[in-house]
Structure 1
Amino acid sequence: FSFSTHTQKSSKRPLPMENLMQPQVPRNNYLHFQEEKQRLQLKKFLLDRMFLVAMTRDNIEKKDVTEYYEQVFQSIAKPHIGEPVTGLLLMYRTFIVHILESSSGTLYRILLDYINHRKNRGEYFIQGMKIIVVSHNIPTRIFMQWHVVVIKVPVMYLDDVTQSQSLEEVITEFLTQTHKLALYFFKTLKVGVKGPGESLHQPAPELLLQEQIIKYLYRSEEFMEPETFINMYNRPIHVTLDTEVVWPAPSRF
């Protein structure tokens, strides 16, 4: 009886190898990590940010541009509730800078609207457009709403600095200035205020982009037009390469 009791007690002790084999830390893959991150941030969709530059026709009115884009945003938002568009539209004499923040699907439809207008060759204030940067899955917005600002820069700010700079330096300055301007808007404007109007060069002249920089980026061949971007967006990921195709097909002997 004593022998059986000793056997029962020893059987309850785990072997040393079993202790080593037990996982000490729960292991999750990268997909679970991203899903948990999105759940904690209470996001319904991934947030993207797009930087655009475009050339406009002469004598364009701020009211016409504002009403047009607000109508586009509303038509896109109807089937996509909860995906608002925030950003900034800077209107210069012949060029515009447009920063948009929303889901990839919403940004995709905004580009499609531009492409449809261009194909129809109707009356449209944008004559050409280039995509400078697209940032995917950004952690947060830098704009609380969508603003339109008309830039009437004095002559003293119109010196061309792109002649002595490389493309990389111009892009760096472009992104740096736009982010500084976004931070200025975030700190100074309250929710519901449409923007500082046409007097932005007075409170923050050092934050304004020179129109020559926008013109330089617009004319650079390194940046895509919306049609090229949309074609790449719709292209299938799984592409069969020529090196994967063997003819005649291999056969077993």
Structure 2
Amino acid sequence: MEFGNRDRKQKEKKKEKEKKKPSEEKVQTSLYHRRLTRRKLLCPEGDLKILLHRLIFIGQISPELEDKTDLGAHYERLSQHLQLRYQADAFTGLLLLYPSHVVHILESSSEVLVYVLRDLCDIQARPHSALISESRILVVSHDISSRLFQDWSYKVLDLPGTTLTDRGKQETTEKLVTSTLKTLLKLGSHLQRLSKRRNFSVSAESLLKQGPELIIPQDVLAQLIERNELLTPQQYLQAYHSPVNLPINSAHTFGSVCPNIV
């Protein structure tokens, strides 16, 4: 009888181990759980509720827009609207307003970023009150580990309309985008370090004086706007809402002929 009880206990323990084994393996080997564990270490608690993405797009300001702050005010209202509509999805980033171009860096959930792109399509479609006449997406980075910005803001840059960029020796789109993104990420890291100081406040003027190498020349933005390899917001949204049906041997991403761009 004693041996029989032992056998039964061993069998019960074995069954319990077999029941626990799949869940244990899932926690240990699942890519989702590994990414979640990593985000818990790197991200603030609030960002665990969403997958964090970063969108960077450039645009050409409509020639009919006399006051650049009108564009900044538009996105300021939009950010407030999105904060109310998606309360768990913080909307952070930086809008740089050049004399004739813009660079916009945004960090939030995919739903918020898609909403921003739809709004961008809408304002471009307005014939007489357009804020931005043309735009291109530089990159959409998915599931980033942390934010570069603690809030959203915009700065009006007082720069000359042209620079010393030699348009006769244009770089390839991939090189031009890569160098632009590196500079923008350095700018974000620079502002992030400054934000940790007390009484933090960086004006556009001080930014131009302290870190002029962190500002993308406007002529480079003009070149990027002309590159058809970069997706427009309309093209990106069309691909975003389309079913994924790409050939296995295709290197294209979202229909772009430059696979590393988006």
Identify the TM-score tier after normalising by the shorter chain. Answer: 0.7 to 0.9
The answer as to whether partners of 2:173 and 2:229 remain within 8 angstroms in 1 is no
Report the identity percentage: 24
Q: Distance in 2 between matches of 1:122 and 1:154?
A: 26
Residue 97 of structure 1 aligns to a residue in which SS?
strand
- 1:225 matched to 2:226? The reply is no
Structure 1: which 5+ residue stretches go unaligned? 240-253
The answer as to whether partners of 1:53 and 1:98 remain within 8 angstroms in 2 is yes
Relative to 1, partners in 2 of residues 1:56 and 1:192: Cα closer, same or farther, differing over 3 Å?
farther
Letter in 1 for 2:215: L
- Please show how residues 237-248 of structure 1 align to structure 2 within 5 Å: 237=244
Structure 2: which 5+ residue stretches go unaligned? 247-262
- 1:174 matched to 2:189? The reply is no
- Please show how residues 69-88 of structure 1 align to structure 2 within 5 Å: 69-88=75-94
In the other structure, the counterpart of 2:220 is 213
Offset at residue 132 of structure 1 (A): 0.9
Larger radius of gyration: 1
- 1:49 matched to 2:54? The reply is yes
- 1:235 matched to 2:242? The reply is yes
In the other structure, the counterpart of 1:151 is 157
- 1:26 matched to 2:31? The reply is no
TM-score by length of 2: 0.75
Q: Distance in 1 between matches of 2:66 and 2:210?
A: 25
Give deviations 1:174-205, integer Å, cap 9, x for gaps. Answer: 01110111111111236986641334221111
- Please show how residues 127-166 of structure 1 align to structure 2 within 5 Å: 127-153=133-159, 158-161=163-166, 163-166=169-172
Q: How many aligned positions are there?
A: 231
Give deviations 1:92-117, integer Å, cap 9, x for gaps. Answer: 12111111111110111111112223
Q: Distance in 1 between matches of 2:175 and 2:181?
A: 10
- Give me the CA root mean square deviation: 3.3
Offset at residue 88 of structure 1 (A): 1.2
